[in-house]
Amino acid sequence: MAGFDSIRAALLGWPALLWLAWWLGERWQPHGVPRVSVYVAVGLAGSAIGLAVGLDADSGGPALLAQLALSLVLFELGCRIHLGWFRRNPWVLLIGLLQSVVIFVAVLWALAAAGLGGQWRPLLAAVAVAASPASLLRVANDLRAAGQVTERVLHLAAIQCVVAVLLVKGVTGHWYLSEAGDWAQAALGSVYAVGISIALGVALAIVVAALLRGPFTSPAAPTVGYALALVWLTVVSDALHLSPLLAALSFGVALRERRVFVANAQRDFGSLGLLLGVFLFVYVGSRLSWDALTQGAVWGVAAVVLAARILIPVAIHAMLAVPSGTTPRKGALTGVALVPMSAMTLLLLERSIVLGLPPAAEALWFLSAALLWLELCGPWVTQWALVAAREAGSPSRGPATASVPPSPPPR
């Protein structure tokens, strides 16, 4: 009977919660409130009053749906990545790698110095590197932002996400090796997952590039084709214990490199992408632990993570702005805009929990306050930075139906 009550509560509560999040987001966004922050706040409130029930990571379906929602975002982000630009201006790639490594080392050292030790510490430092591509892309699309800072932010977010996945897989492999002495499991959790995820995304890009060429009778056909390909990619990656997020990003990058631009696809994957986006951020808000938010150590971790994610990117981008081809002011604004961190981090940790990595649950618990602040306030910071860089156009008041041309490589 209790199980039936839980299922009934989920069926009744979640649609109402999602509708409320969408409605509030549409009403408040014209007044300067980022939709993303509204969605997370509604999810957080829903979990507090008991409406956001029945969607646990262990249940499989909800977590897989959240993975699919983020896969759509990472695919769109991958289609905007210009690898040739990294070859012509390697400074941006070097800055992205440098800030990722420095954030990882700084968080790891600061937690140890504060006496917050444990097996969860390296994993928490690894996921703290990840930006929030869903928040960044959604804010940029809502503002119709375009320019040097916007493109740098998106390229750097992709770099940080890849590095975060690599660090998580490395920490996972090291844990299996040091704790269990299991070389096979260590390899499956690190090298295998990374290599096969990238290969699967590239292979799918080759197939889809051949099948989606030519005119279509319906303007929505390319959007549906890419979305269904991503559904297959996410499900297969999840079943093979790979990284659906890395596979989706590789899929988008490979399509861009093969010059198969998604010019005919709708921004944010149209209504489907917007619906999944609402679910993703409400899901993120609902998964934050209220018990953890009452603990001082959790807020200490939040202070460490926030300091690292704000001070390090701003300092590095400002100092290396001139060699990388921009001004110190725009470099500092780029670092500020990279503050958001939520969906990517949460799903990386939840997936590690499902795959049986014991420190992942502790890492997620200790990261609750940092996720709360960086996802509620992070989109505001990104919005301010893009406006301050004078790259924001007319704010979007609804789903875009116009085609999305390939972004030009930033200088």
Summarised one tens digit per residue, pLDDT across range 313-350 is 999 999 999 998 899 999 999 999 999 987 888 888 88
| pLDDT per residue as tens digits for the range 18-53 | 899 999 999 998 888 888 999 999 988 888 776 665
Residue 255 is predicted with a pLDDT of 85
76 vs 221, higher pLDDT: 76
User: Rounded to whole angstroms, how far apart are CA atoms 363 and 85?
Assistant: 36
| pLDDT per residue as tens digits for the range 50-67 | 666 555 555 567 778 888
Instruction: Please compute the mean of the pLDDT values over residues 163-167 and round it to a whole number.
Output: 90
Residue 31 is predicted with a pLDDT of 85
| pLDDT per residue as tens digits for the range 142-153 | 888 888 899 999
CA atoms within 13 A on the CB side of 323: 11
Which domains are assigned to the chain?
57-388 (1.20.1530.20)
Q: Is the pLDDT of residue 16 over 90?
A: no
CA–CA distances in Å: residue 240 to residues 20, 194, 362: 36, 12, 25
Instruction: Please compute the mean of the pLDDT values over residues 278-304 and round it to a whole number.
Output: 88
239 vs 100, higher pLDDT: 100
Q: Is the pLDDT of residue 101 over 90?
A: yes
Q: Is the pLDDT of residue 183 over 80?
A: no
Q: Is the pLDDT of residue 299 over 90?
A: yes
Name the 3-class secondary structure at 403. strand
- 100-114, 186-200, 206-220, 257-271, range with the lowest pLDDT: 257-271
Mean pLDDT, rounded, of the chain: 82
**How far is CA 51 from its chain centroid?**
25
Q: What percent of the chain has pLDDT over 90?
A: 31
Q: What is the dihedral of CA 16, 19, 21, 22, to 10 degrees?
A: 180
Residue 337's CB is within 10 A of a number of other CB atoms, namely 33
| pLDDT per residue as tens digits for the range 192-216 | 778 888 999 999 998 888 887 766 6
Residue 354 is predicted with a pLDDT of 80
How big is the CA angle at 347 (ends 308 and 92), to the nearest 5 degrees? 45
Instruction: Please compute the mean of the pLDDT values over residues 131-154 and round it to a whole number.
Output: 89
Nearest to 197 by CA among 156, 168, 155, 226: 168
Residue 318 is predicted with a pLDDT of 94
Reported pTM: 0.86
Q: Which tokens in the block code for residue 108? A: 């790891």
Determine the angle formed by the axes of helices 120-127 and 359-366, rounding to 10 degrees.
60
User: Rounded to whole angstroms, how far apart are CA atoms 72 and 114?
Assistant: 38
Q: Which tokens in the block code for residue 292? A: 């953890």
Q: Is the pLDDT of residue 220 over 80?
A: no
Residue 103 is predicted with a pLDDT of 96
406 vs 256, higher pLDDT: 256
- 173-182, 222-231, 294-303, range with the lowest pLDDT: 173-182
DSSP 8-state assignment for residue 50: T
Q: Is the pLDDT of residue 270 over 60?
A: yes
Residue 284 is predicted with a pLDDT of 87
358 vs 314, higher pLDDT: 314
Q: Are 348 and 132 in contact (CB under 8 A)?
A: no
Q: Which tokens in the block code for residue 342? A: 């939520």
Beta bridge partners, 357, equal none
Residue 38 is predicted with a pLDDT of 92
pLDDT band at 257 (very low <50, low <70, confident <90, very high): confident
User: Rounded to whole angstroms, how far apart are CA atoms 228 and 219?
Assistant: 16
pLDDT band at 3 (very low <50, low <70, confident <90, very high): very low
Instruction: Please compute the mean of the pLDDT values over residues 256-285 and round it to a whole number.
Output: 76
